[in-house]
Amino acid sequence: MAMSEPKVTDLPAEVAGWPDCLNLLVRNVQEWSAASGWQGRLTSKHMAEKGLGRYEVPVLVLDREDAEVSLVPVARQVPGADGLVDLFRMPAYDAVASLYLEKGQWFIHYAFTPDPTEARSVIETERLPLEEGSLNRVLDDIAKATHA
């Protein structure tokens, strides 16, 4: 699927690469998730951040028979990271996973559905490098949780 670059209005130099970074992320997520049967469609949204101005970012909606998930940029300016993008389960917009850009590398933070045969008092969030295997593991768990 061809996608257009986001429209940027005078972003400061230190964050001018953020829209390009988001476009690359969206392309990778769309390509990797397709291997697990997810169909992607691209849309966009306008963002406005203090000191950055107003700009447009890509939003990827992933759909499979058993679930729908949206990859939505949240902010370029976040404490401890260089950007934040969330995966929302649709249609309720439940935030189920967060992707943080740290020193040029994306990491996915997600609390996997606990195994009902294991005794647990705490469910912990895992931090995984974002790659095809970790992304599809998270998407499959999201789809499974949708029907739980």
> What pLDDT is attached to residue 77?
86
Long-range contacts of the stretch 22-27 (C-beta < 8 A, 24+): 22/57, 22/58, 22/73, 22/83, 22/85, 23/58, 25/71, 25/85, 25/99, 25/106, 26/58, 26/60, 26/71, 27/3
Q: Which residues of the chain have pLDDT under 70?
A: 1-15, 95, 120-122, 146-148
> What pLDDT is attached to residue 12?
66
Residue range 25-63, pLDDT digits in tens = 999 999 999 999 999 999 999 988 887 778 889 999 999
First and final CA of the chain: distance in angstroms? 32
Give the domain ranges of the chain. Answer: 13-146
22 is written with which tokens? 């988001």
CA distance 26 to 24: 5
pTM of the model: 0.84
> What pLDDT is attached to residue 95?
64
